[in-house]
Chain A
Amino acid sequence: MDDPSPGVGAAAVPHPITAGLVLGVAVGVFGISFGVLAVAAGLSPAKVCAMSLLVFTGASQFAAVGVVGAGGSTATALASALLLGARNAAYGLTMSTILRGRLPTRLAASQLVIDESTAMATAQATPSDQRRAFWWTGLAVFVCWNLGTLLGALGGDAIGDPERFGLDAAFPAGFVALLVPHVRSFEGRVTAAIGVAVALLLVPVAPAGLPVLAASIAVLVGLRSPKGTEAAPGTAPTGEDLP
């Protein structure tokens, strides 16, 4: 495994450290827009920064601020934010097979269990790369997200519209890159298709956050897969799924 084989599989398996840092910077730019939007929704810069430090799960923060900004109740804001945050419990379960160690370490790691760190870690081929990807991505995103939030909250209207630079599409584009290793198996592709269908059908009728959460029932496809075929991608990565 000494051969880094540049070019082959470079896209499928992002480098555990540099890819995490790049993602961190991208998230940081998005953190600026969160800071701007949250202040515009009526939160004080101190509250906005506290939110990014303590809540630290972007989709939930955007949901909470978005509901409040649109005049919704605090209860609705918290419900949508917590629904969105529930997927981090599933991510934590996935990561628990990779992140062992002492309790204080795991309690600290818990705060870093988010979309980016989990996706980056589960895209890696070996347990040690998975751990490195988790910590580097998680810490890079944590630092950049909070710096971005601070800048945005203080800068406020001085910063232009991040959508002008297409940054709202940067997240899904990143997720596209991270998805690749998970849809190599037939099982993974079926799961993805069912998940997307469920979520898109629910979007017009369900509260914010519920469609993404409900899409996780697509993993029940795993119940039907024949025993002894390939391992599930997240929990027992072997690296043999490289192209």
Chain B
Amino acid sequence: MSWAAILGLAAGCYLLKVLGLVLLGGRELPPTVDRCVGLLPAALLPTLIAVQTLTTDHRWVLDARAAGVGAAVLAAWRKAPFPVIIVVGAATTALVRAFS
């Protein structure tokens, strides 16, 4: 990867951030748009979880990560504190991986 590609990627990624926060942001949005934007985390967070847990490259995969994230869901459901949820997820994955 050339320096030009890295700088181009940096410029592109920064412009995307500025687009949302500065160029489009701070405006009074119609209520419907506001509601949809507010739902973005509800759409993107579980999607990131699913893609990072259940897929590798372009394949669906069920491996130690699913066990770890399942344990994390259980911990979250039991109202465990935030750091505990992360540690439970990572430790369960490591354990399943070590014994499989």
Q: Verify if B99 is at the interface (C-beta below 8 Å from A).
A: no
List the count of A-B residue pairs having beta carbons below 8 Å apart. Answer: 333
Beta-carbon nearest neighbor of B7 in chain A: A54
- When distances are taken between beta carbons in the complex, the residues of chain A under 8 Å from B25 are 92-93, 95-97, 99, 106
Q: Verify if B13 is at the interface (C-beta below 8 Å from A).
A: yes
- When distances are taken between beta carbons in the complex, the residues of chain A under 8 Å from B2 are 74
Q: Verify if A40 is at the interface (C-beta below 8 Å from B).
A: no
Question: Are B38 and A232 touching (Cβ within 8 A)?
Answer: yes
- When distances are taken between beta carbons in the complex, the residues of chain A under 8 Å from B39 are 182, 187-188, 191, 218-219, 221-222, 232-234
Beta-carbon nearest neighbor of B4 in chain A: A74
Question: Are B97 and A60 touching (Cβ within 8 A)?
Answer: no
Question: Are B37 and A235 touching (Cβ within 8 A)?
Answer: yes
Q: Verify if A236 is at the interface (C-beta below 8 Å from B).
A: yes
Q: Which of B1, B10, B64, B68 has the most A CB atoms < 10 Å from its CB?
A: B1
Beyond A11-B79, A203-B58, A234-B40, is A176–B17 a contact (Cβ under 8 Å)? no
Which A residues, 109 to 139, have Cβ-Cβ distances below 8 Å to chain B? Answer: 109-111, 113, 115, 118-119, 122
Which A residues, 208 to 243, have Cβ-Cβ distances below 8 Å to chain B? Answer: 208, 211-212, 215-223, 225, 227, 231-236, 243
A94 to B31, CA, bound (A): 13
Question: Are A183 and B69 touching (Cβ within 8 A)?
Answer: no
Chain B contributes a number of interface residues (CB within 8 A of A) equal to 74
Beyond A171-B52, A212-B44, is A47–B1 a contact (Cβ under 8 Å)? yes
Q: Verify if B36 is at the interface (C-beta below 8 Å from A).
A: yes
> Chain A: interface secondary structure?
helix
- When distances are taken between beta carbons in the complex, the residues of chain B under 8 Å from A196 are 46-47, 49-50
Residue-wise interface mask of B (17-41) relative to A, using a CB-CB cutoff of 8 A (1 in contact, 0 not) = 1111110111100011011111111
A8 to B88, CA, bound (A): 20
Question: Are A234 and B44 touching (Cβ within 8 A)?
Answer: no
Question: Are B97 and A166 touching (Cβ within 8 A)?
Answer: yes
Q: Verify if A14 is at the interface (C-beta below 8 Å from B).
A: yes
Q: Verify if A55 is at the interface (C-beta below 8 Å from B).
A: yes
Question: Are B89 and A199 touching (Cβ within 8 A)?
Answer: no
B41 CB to closest chain A CB (Å) equals: 5
Q: Verify if A154 is at the interface (C-beta below 8 Å from B).
A: no
| Residue from B13, B47, B86, B92 in contact with A57 in the complex, judged by beta carbons closer than 8 Å | B13
Beta-carbon nearest neighbor of B92 in chain A: A166
Beta-carbon nearest neighbor of B18 in chain A: A110
Beta-carbon nearest neighbor of B1 in chain A: A68
A194 to B72, CA, bound (A): 21
A177 to B90, CA, bound (A): 13
| Residue from A113, A188, A208, A232 in contact with B37 in the complex, judged by beta carbons closer than 8 Å | A232
Beyond A26-B86, A192-B42, is A222–B36 a contact (Cβ under 8 Å)? yes
Q: Name 11 A/B residue pairs within 8 A (Cβ), A-sorted.
A: A11-B82, A81-B13, A92-B16, A109-B21, A115-B48, A168-B52, A175-B49, A183-B42, A187-B39, A187-B42, A235-B35
Which residues of B approach A to under 8 Å, CB–CB? 1-3, 5-10, 12-14, 16-22, 24-27, 31-32, 34-55, 58-60, 64-65, 68-69, 72-73, 76, 79-83, 85-86, 88-95, 97-98
Q: Which 3 A-B pairs have the closest CB atoms?
A: A92-B20, A232-B38, A96-B25
